Amino acid sequence: MSQRVVIAGGTVVDPVAGKAAPGDVLIENDQLVGVFSPGAGGAESDTVMDASGLLVLPGLVDMHVHLREPGYEYKETIATGVAAALAGGFTSLACMANTDPVNDSAAVTQFILERARVAGGARVYPIGALSAGMKGERLAEIGEMYRAGIVAVSDDGRPVMDAGLMRRALEYTSMFGLPIIVHEEDGHLAAGGVMNEGVTALRLGLHGIPAAAEEVMMARDIALTDLTGGRLHVAHVSTAGSVALLRDAKARGLAVTAEVTPHHLFLTEEAVAGYGTNAKMAPPLRNARDVEALRAALADGTIDALATDHAPHHHDEKEVEFENAANGVVGLETALPLALRLVADGVLDLPALVARMTVGPARILGLPAGTLSPGAPADLTLVDPERRWRVEARTFRSKGRNTPFEGWEMAGRAVAVLVGGRLVYDDRPGTAAALRSAAS
Amino acid sequence: MAFTQRHLLGLEGVPAAEITSILDTAASFKEISERDIKKVPALRGKTVINLFYESSTRTRTSFEIAAKRLSADTVNISASTSSASKGETLADTARNLEAMRPDAIVVRHPASGACHLLARHVSCPILNAGDGCHEHPTQALLDLLTIREHLGRLEGLTVAIVGDILHSRVARSNLHALRALGSTVRLVGPPTLVPRDLAAFGAELHTELAAGVRDADVVMMLRIQRERQGANFFPTLDEYSQYFCLTEEAVRLAKPQVIILHPGPLNRGLEIASAVADGPYSVIMDQVTNGVAVRMALLYLLVARSKGEESGETAAEMIGDAEPVRRRTGGRA
């Protein structure tokens, strides 16, 4: 028997149409029926979910997370990563291949999908390794992983130094229409570096990674994309120079897309002062000039997606000397409120921001997510833009506590999340029990 | 101005008046080392741990003598004998040492920021004896004391620091302290070892030794690490030496009263000619002597002072000093 639910009274943000307006969203079973003007969507038989005062968004998509399973379950599991994603408002995740074993075979891809099915909740899309064992030597069995369900190919965390291998990978993956996600960092220029090269690194006596380490690799890969007709997606862009390269590549009509992380939009190398290891990540935090360029690029669409690069680590891997600390920060549970701050700061409008967190990444990966089109999966994120809260890592659903935003005062938070029409996360005061029964 | 630091992690941001107060205290302590019985009771009953993760002869010995001349009990831990060789983390080592209630920990570690990490885990003062490429504050303070003794002041002097600035914790600490006290600092070396961003610290950058030392009041040579040769910072030690070895000819370009410093150990004939190292303008041995006084002063200021202030004792009373405090010994040694 069909079950219809109308989500009524909220402000519906449609990233494709580029507008935010009062409206009702009608879903039937696991699909969206459509968006209607207030009061026009429901019928008497429908269950009503009150979204007064809330923003109703397509479920958020994070195209860059590290779920650590298999192999590093002490850092995160697919189940805890999914729980963190839902609490942060994300309904679709693409997880990177640097597990142990590396996701370089159909068997590992299938294992990840099975663990995600058991975990339930968010949709998990594996990314396959570009090279066998992520060793940067020969291609992984990309075709077999494609059949098993990968949505992209990447050696994220281990930049591909061999230009010949990258050229072949771009050619070969074009057969499947899969994008190659690149972590752009020249290993020779970055050798020994643990933070951005510049005044702060000199002050702290830490070895620097120059912006050029990212830019020379990006210039190389843009040239190879031009050569091969492949699809290139640049992960976690961090420098103003990279933005200029992207802008030029896009103007030339190349199939190049890019993402930026919240931490590169809100923090600079100054965050490393005091040797706090939660400010250590790859690529490193850069300068204010880079932050401004990244924000502008996100606003004008040069950067297509906001992605967290959620990288949980154990406390013991961070409570060490800075140069010995693991790279990376968690992001799933802080990305949305930080993103809303960009709207409050006037960097871009709400529909554009939502596009970078929904349809933008979904299109890059070919996911059936991120829109409010009739027939689309009923994945929705309801956000209370007024909810005030303070970041306390100990309350995270993620096993990772390695956030550089500890103690930040936030405004806005996901309060209810539906995946395939099911209410899988509900943090609305007082209404949780009633709605859980209504939507199930 | 009173000395207010809880730890000595570095000299960046330490106000000029506090640096002067350390130097004044050190100058007053020098006399103790000239006594027949080189011991005062200032740190009696206190425990000072020397925790060294890098080999060191000069600095560790200097700290140990300084603590002993103040009557502290000292314990030396080196990386080869410590649980670090069994894989214990620095944070765990810190927790264990803290549980034994030391009154100060002197730390040398190859990682920049290691002292900051330790300071988060212990309640006693941490004295940085060199952390990675970050800072070596006691070396800079003894350099400043030596310069002040010989030239009578720090303000308005031109100090050339020559060599591997990029990797030098000695250069960083000196740069911060000398700038705070009004000296002009020139950093001299090949651009690979003197990155352009250093100009942001208010230093003049030079790639030519002659221009760097011309009319300088002080030339401070840094030890060149042999392993830089393999990392393309310069082609060979021989070529480096041709361009940046401090020879007598180069010294003649500096002011007539110039003094030459080197933190040691010396690479004779590589960064400094023997004739210069042993020449009349060399104050290298004075640096070593002053090292003990500076470390005594810091141990005193960080460990004994809080207790002393409560009981109203002054430095002179604590050390049983009958002579007037000598701020400067003046003149050339």
The residues, ordered by sequence, that sit 6+ positions from A405 with a Cβ below 8 Å of its Cβ are A263, A266, A334, A338, A391
Q: Which of B92, B134, B169 to mutate to test the interface with A (most CBs of A within 10 A)?
A: B134
In this predicted structure, what is the pLDDT of residue A440?
45
- Work out the mean pLDDT of chain A and round it to a whole number: 96
CA proximity to B133, closest of B161, B114, B117, B149: B114
In this predicted structure, what is the pLDDT of residue A208?
97
Catalytic residue status for B61: no
Cα–Cα distance measured from residue B51 to residue B32, given in angstroms and rounded to the nearest whole number: 25
Which band of pLDDT confidence, cut at 50, 70 and 90, is reported for residue B320?
A: low
B230 has pLDDT over 80:
no
* Residue A412 and residue A386 in contact, taking contact as beta carbons nearer than 8 Å: yes
Please state, as a whole number, how many other Cβ atoms lie within 10 Å of the Cβ of residue B60. 19
| A302-311, B221-230, B247-256: segment of lowest average pLDDT | B221-230
| A202-216, B157-171, B227-241, B244-258: segment of lowest average pLDDT | B227-241
In this predicted structure, what is the pLDDT of residue A431?
58
Which band of pLDDT confidence, cut at 50, 70 and 90, is reported for residue B295?
A: very high
Cα–Cα distance measured from residue A428 to residue A424, given in angstroms and rounded to the nearest whole number: 13
Query: What is the phi-psi region of residue A366: left when phi exceeds 0, alpha when psi lies from -120 to 50, beta otherwise?
Result: left
- The one catalytic residue in B30, B69, B134, B136 is B136
Give all domains of chain B, ordered by start, each with its CATH number. 16-134+290-319 (3.40.50.1370), 137-285 (3.40.50.1370)
Cα–Cα distance measured from residue B21 to residue B4, given in angstroms and rounded to the nearest whole number: 10
Q: Does A203 touch chain B (CB under 8 A)?
A: yes
A84 has pLDDT over 90:
yes
In this predicted structure, what is the pLDDT of residue B310?
46
- The one catalytic residue in B30, B60, B108, B295 is B108
Catalytic residue status for B136: yes
From B89, B132, B197, residue closest to A199, measured CB to CB: B197
From B111's Cα to the closest Cα of chain A, the distance in A is 6
A63 has pLDDT over 50:
yes
In this predicted structure, what is the pLDDT of residue A301?
98
Q: Does A188 touch chain B (CB under 8 A)?
A: no
pLDDT tens, residue by residue, A8-51: 999 999 999 999 999 999 999 999 999 999 988 777 778 999 99
* Residue B188 and residue B194 in contact, taking contact as beta carbons nearer than 8 Å: yes
In this predicted structure, what is the pLDDT of residue B332?
40
In this predicted structure, what is the pLDDT of residue B83?
66
pLDDT tens, residue by residue, B5-63: 899 999 999 999 999 999 999 999 999 999 999 999 999 999 999 999 998 899 999 99
Which band of pLDDT confidence, cut at 50, 70 and 90, is reported for residue B327?
A: very low
CB-CB neighbors (< 8 A) of B91 in chain A: 319-320
Residue of chain A with shortest Cα separation from B131: A205
Cα–Cα distance measured from residue A267 to residue A283, given in angstroms and rounded to the nearest whole number: 12
Top-confidence residue, A405 or B326: A405
In this predicted structure, what is the pLDDT of residue B227?
76
In this predicted structure, what is the pLDDT of residue A73?
98
Residue with tokens 């011309």: B214
In this predicted structure, what is the pLDDT of residue B85?
67
B133/A207 touch (CB, cutoff 8 Å), yes or no? yes
Please give the distance of CA B220 from its chain centroid, rounded to a whole number.
12
Please give the backbone phi and psi of residue A254, each rounded to the nearest 5 degrees, phi first.
-75, 155
Q: Which of A202, A277, A287 to mutate to test the interface with B (most CBs of B within 10 A)?
A: A202
Measured at the CA of A362, the angle between CA A356 and CA A366, to 5 degrees, comes to: 150
- The one catalytic residue in B25, B47, B59, B138 is B59
Percent share of chain A, pLDDT over 90: 95
pLDDT tens, residue by residue, B171-213: 999 999 999 999 999 999 999 999 999 999 999 999 999 999 9
A205/B134 touch (CB, cutoff 8 Å), yes or no? yes
In this predicted structure, what is the pLDDT of residue B79?
79
- Measured between alpha carbons, how far is residue B142 from residues B20, B150, B170, B189 in Å? 12, 12, 11, 23
Q: How many helices (H) and strands (E) does chain B have?
A: 13, 9
Which band of pLDDT confidence, cut at 50, 70 and 90, is reported for residue B322?
A: very low
Q: Which of B88, B173, B197 to mutate to test the interface with A (most CBs of A within 10 A)?
A: B197
pLDDT tens, residue by residue, A367-401: 999 999 999 999 999 999 999 999 999 999 999 99
Residue A400 buriedness (CB in 10 A; 0-12 / 13-18 / 19+): buried
CB within 8 Å of chain A, chain B residues 156-215: 166, 169, 172, 195, 197-198, 200-201
Give all domains of chain A, ordered by start, each with its CATH number. 4-56+377-439 (2.30.40.10), 59-365 (3.20.20.140)
B321 has pLDDT over 60:
no
In this predicted structure, what is the pLDDT of residue B331?
40
* Residue A372 and residue A41 in contact, taking contact as beta carbons nearer than 8 Å: no
User: Can you point out the beta strands (E) in A100-146?
Assistant: 123-126
Cα–Cα distance measured from residue A366 to residue B168, given in angstroms and rounded to the nearest whole number: 51
Please state, as a whole number, how many other Cβ atoms lie within 10 Å of the Cβ of residue A192. 10
Cα–Cα distance measured from residue B252 to residue B250, given in angstroms and rounded to the nearest whole number: 5
CB-CB neighbors (< 8 A) of B90 in chain A: 320-321
Catalytic residues of A: 309
The residues, ordered by sequence, that sit 6+ positions from A221 with a Cβ below 8 Å of its Cβ are A166, A170, A182, A184, A232, A234
From B165's Cα to the closest Cα of chain A, the distance in A is 10
B307 has pLDDT over 80:
no
pLDDT tens, residue by residue, B82-124: 666 678 899 999 999 999 999 999 999 999 999 999 999 999 9
Q: In terms of DSSP bridges, do strands B104-109 and B126-131 run parallel, antiparallel, or are they unpaired?
A: parallel
In this predicted structure, what is the pLDDT of residue B318?
57
pLDDT tens, residue by residue, A116-149: 999 999 999 999 999 999 999 999 999 999 999 9
Residue of chain A with shortest Cα separation from B13: A203
| B129 SS3 class | strand
Element (H, E) at B308: helix B305-311
From A198, A204, A207, residue closest to B113, measured CB to CB: A204
Q: Does A136 touch chain B (CB under 8 A)?
A: no
* Residue B175 and residue B169 in contact, taking contact as beta carbons nearer than 8 Å: no
